[in-house]
Amino acid sequence: MSAASSSLLVVARTGALFVATAIAEILGCYLPYLWLRKAGSPWLLLPAAISLAVFAWLLTLHPTGAARTYAAYGGVYIATALLWLWLVEGERPTRWDVVGASVAVLGMMIIVLAPRDR
């Protein structure tokens, strides 16, 4: 495997891990929202707690330091939350939502892909 394809694989895995982390966090927060604001069952709190535990565990799997991971994760979280808004809540993001998410993801890419002096 070439160095370029190996790097591409690392970026793809990291991106997928960021998205999985964001989904776990959003689900863990969305279920209590359904309970509190939409008259959902209190039983929603159990899968919410499990989802938030999975979210915390997934954060430990990221390949860089915690602070850099959290900073980069923010961009992916924003984009994933807007996809959730559209796919789960049925509200299409505005043009400005997309622009804002694009800027956040660009910032995330700068943080993750920047060369490191080691």
The pLDDT tens digits for 13-51 are 888 998 999 999 999 999 999 999 999 999 999 999 999
Model pTM?
0.85
pLDDT at 71: 82
Task: Tell me the DSSP string of 11-50.
Answer: HHHHHHHHHHHHHHHHHHHHHHHHHHHS---GGGHHHHHH
pLDDT at 118: 64
Closest CA to 13 of 68, 63, 78, 66: 63
